[in-house]
Amino acid sequence: MKVTVLTAFALSAAGAALAQDMHQHDAHVHGRGALDIAVEGENILMELRAPGADIVGFEYPAREIEEKAAVAVALNLLSNPEDLFVLDAAAGCGFVAAEAELHGKKTQDDAQERDDDDKTELADSAEAGGHSEFHAEFVLSCDHIERLKTISLNYFKAFERAEALEVQAISDKGSFSAELTRDAPVLKLEGRI
């Protein structure tokens, strides 16, 4: 089953409703990220947010070649969710869209493209130790969503500084929350979606 633009829009709207109606993950706490999940019919929208420190080990603007490379590798990993999330094969789910970006990131290269006021803002932000977060959105389509019993996360293996993900989920059966950790990286969905 292909996800249409209308379905993707509906899932985005469900994700927005999820963000408004459910517990917010506003606190920026190192080691702890957030995973929001919205299920509609045979489709799933997942939104992941994690502090830069969890993903690459720093939150300031990447300056060195190694830091820029670490950000690029992280964005590549987050853009390939098949490596981060393992779903029950019987459900026949596949990722149909994935997008990852770094919010709050300002690089020296970006500053060269802005005027002097923005350069001052960049310097102030860097000195203040601004926080950056990685955001990723994934859209999945499933042939037999009723067979999806668990989602196992390789996220904690990929990002060794990450300690926990606060999960908020909503489906036509209601909403629920869970905490996934290195020691308990499996989200149980049976009877919930």
Give the model's pLDDT for residue 106: 52
- Distance CA(21)–CA(19), nearest Å, equals 6
Mean residue pLDDT of the chain comes to: 81
- Distance CA(100)–CA(65), nearest Å, equals 20
Give the model's pLDDT for residue 129: 54
> Which residue is associated with the tokens 């389509």?
141
Positions in the chain whose pLDDT score sits under 50: 1-26, 105, 107-128
How far, in Å, are 16, 103, 132, 133 from residue 123 at the CA level?
A: 33, 17, 15, 19
Q: Which helix (H) or strand (E) holds 102?
A: strand 93-103
- Which residues are within 8 A (CB) of 180 and not within 5 positions of it... i.e. 6 or more apart? 35, 153, 164, 165, 167, 186, 187
Sign of the four-CA dihedral 46, 51, 52, 57: negative
